[in-house]
Amino acid sequence: MNSYIEQLKKDGKLNKVLNKHQWQISNPPYIISGPCSVESEDMIVKFAHKLKSVGVDALRGGAYKPCTYPITKTVGNNGWKEGLRERGLKFLITAREETGLPIVSEIMDVRQIDTLSMDAIDTIQVGTRNFQNYTLLDELGTLDKNVLLKRGTWGTIDEILGAVERLLVGGKARVAICLRGVVGAPSYRHVFPQIRWTPDIMMIPALKELCNIPIIYDPSHSTGYRNFVPAISKAAIAAGADGLAIESHPDPANSISDPDQAITIGTLSEIMESVL
Q: Establish if 249 lies at the interface with ligand PEP (CB under 6 A).
A: no
Shortest Å distance, C-beta 29 to ligand PEP: 18
Residue 34 binds to ligand PEP (criterion: CB under 6 A): no
Closest separation in Å from C-beta 9 to ligand PEP: 29
180 binds, among Mn ion, ligand PEP, none (CB under 5 to 8 A by kind): ligand PEP
99 is an interface residue for ligand PEP by CB under 6 A: no
To the nearest whole angstrom, how small is the minimum distance from the Cβ of residue 10 to Mn ion? Answer: 40
Minimal CA–CA distance to 180: which of 146, 138, 151, 137?
Answer: 151
Among 8, 18, 31, 36, binds ligand PEP (CB under 6 A): 36
d(CA 60, CA 63) in angstroms, rounded, equals: 10
The nearer residue to ligand PEP, 127 or 252, going by C-beta atoms, is: 127
Q: Measured from the CB atom, is 37 or 99 closer to ligand PEP?
A: 37
Provide the 10 A C-beta neighbour count for residue 269.
18
List the single partner that 127 binds among ligand PEP, Mn ion, none, CB under 5 to 8 Å by kind. ligand PEP
Partner that binds at residue 200, options Mn ion, ligand PEP, none, CB closer than 5 to 8 Å by kind: none
> Pick from 112, 117, 123, 128: which binds ligand PEP (CB under 6 A)?
128
Query: Does residue number 62 form part of the binding site for ligand PEP (CB under 6 A)?
Result: yes
Please select the residue that binds ligand PEP; options are 28, 34, 88, 127, rule is CB under 6 A: 127
> What is the C-alpha separation between 44 and 55, in angstroms, rounded?
16
Residue placing its CB nearer to ligand PEP in the complex, 19 or 66 = 66
Instruction: Count interface residues toward ligand PEP (CB under 6 A).
Output: 9
Residue 258 binds Mn ion, judged by CB under 5 A: yes
Residues of the shown chain interacting with ligand PEP in the complex, contacts defined by CB under 6 A: 36, 62, 66, 106, 127-128, 150, 180, 221
Residues of the shown chain interacting with Mn ion in the complex, contacts defined by CB under 5 A: 36, 258
